[in-house]
Structures are given as structure tokens and as C-alpha cells.
Amino acid sequence: MNNLKIFLLIAAFLPLNGWCDRGKNWANDLDSFYNELRLNHINPFSNITEQEFQNKISNLKKDVENKSDAKIILELMTLTREIGDGHTAVHFHHDTELKKFPIEVYDDSGIWRVIGVTEEYKTILGSQLTHIEQHNIKELKDSLSKVVQFVENENSLQQRVPQYIRYSEILVELGLITDSESATFTFFNGSEKTVIELQSQSSEGDLLRYKITKPKLEKIKDAGVDGLWYGKIPNSKAIYVKFGQYPSFEG
């Protein structure tokens, strides 16, 4: 049971058979989550007491009919983070009907790099994302870091936060954007600034991927001294120089 991962597969229940059925579906899901957590997690209530957890689940169940699916999911994500481990998480199933922006971003040492977009926006592939609406990256991180899932440490938090900017309805519930259908994204490629209004999508589209390749090196034999060598980079007018440290001149 060690390192057991417990996932709640969320499906956004639409009121196909009436609003009341939607509420019952959510209530059943919330009960199932609590029961599965108690049965399968080795120590679920070390950071939050079981009574506190029960109370929050009960309060959420009472009010589901007055909240959007995205709001319920967001509150459940927040509650799940209170368990305090990266193994317990609300996981979005691929069929979840949350709207998504057609973009994927990676945190490259503090720079949010665009690593996936649809064909329509291919010109921003590899660019740096700096703002969504008026919010800069720090503000986005501060809001999202409280709710993103699968967080075990600072490194995993850094990886997870950018993944959630795709979910427009989550951003609305966090107060980061006002319209789940579209939002303004600001990018920089060097000194060139680009502002694009991205439209969210209900279905997952194919994304073009940003690829980073390492050049093949041709090391030159007997080049320099130990700890210093250079090599040609094929098909370019560049060389690669490796220099670890200055040699000792003490003799």
C-alpha cells in the first residue's frame, strides 16, 4: 500500500436529466472520494483531521446545485491538497468537459516556454509567456500553486503549475480571467512582443510540439590540454569549447 496513488476521475456532469440529477451525481462522487480515501490511503488525515475533512465534504455536497462544475472541481482540488501528499489527487480524465486553451507551457527555470500549440498559433511556439490578461507569471503561480495536484515538493510544483493554465474555467473560478471562452495571452520572442486572444476549446486538438535538440559534436583529438577541448558542430560555423577549470601551475 506504500506509495499508492489515489485518483478521482472527474467527469463534468451536465444536467441532461435535470439539475437535480446533476446534484445527485456530484454527491455520489464526493461520497465515493471520501470512502475510497479512507479505505486505500495509509494515513489520509495526518495534516487535516477526519472530522474537518468530513465537514468540508458535507458543506460542498450541500451547495453543489449552486456551483458550476469547475467551481466544485476547484474546491475539491483545494481540499485534496490539504491531505498533504503528492499521491492523492484530483485527476482530470481525458473526457472531462472542461474547456481548454490550445497551448502547453513548460517552466524552464522560471521562464514559461510555449512547448505546444495548434497550427493556428504556430508562430508563438518556443516563445516566452509573460501574461494572461493583466496577470504576470508570479501572480499566476501564486494563485495556481494552491490548487494544482500531484505536488510533492518545490520541483514538482514548478512542473505542475504551468500545466493548469490550459483550463479556462479553472482560471475563471480563480479570478484570473473573466471569460471561459477566451483570454488575452502575451508572449515575447527575444524583444518581439506578441499579444494573442486565445479561444478555449471543448475538445482536445492536436498540438504542434517545440523540440530542443542537442548538436552533434565532433571532438578533435589532442586538442588542448586535459580539461580543455573543442569540437566542431557539423553543418554550422560554430565550435563547442569545454573548459572545466584552470590547470594548476604549481610545480
Question: With 60 as the cut, is the pLDDT of residue 101 above it?
Answer: yes
What is the reported pLDDT for 205? 78
Query: What pLDDT digit, counting tens, does each position of 124-133 carry?
Result: 999 999 999 9
Is the pLDDT at 12 greater than 80? The verdict is no
Q: What is the pLDDT of residue 13?
A: 40
Higher pLDDT, residue 239 or 30: 30
Confidence check: pLDDT of 119 > 80: yes
Q: Which fold has domain 103-209?
A: Pdz3 Domain (2.30.42)
* In the predicted structure, residue 141 carries a pLDDT above the cut 80: yes
Residues 161/141, Cβ–Cβ less than 8 Å:
yes
Q: Where are the alpha helices (DSSP H) in 122-244?
A: 137-144, 154-160, 168-173
* pLDDT over 80 at 247, yes or no: no
The residue count for the chain: 251
More confident residue, 7 or 208: 208
Domain borders along the chain are: 6-92, 103-209, 215-251
pLDDT value at 225 more than 80: no
- Report pLDDT for 248: 63
pLDDT classification of 46: cutoffs 50, 70, 90: very high
What's the pLDDT score for residue 218?
64
Q: In angstroms, what is the C-alpha Rg of the chain?
A: 24
* β-strands 103-108, 111-117 pairing: antiparallel
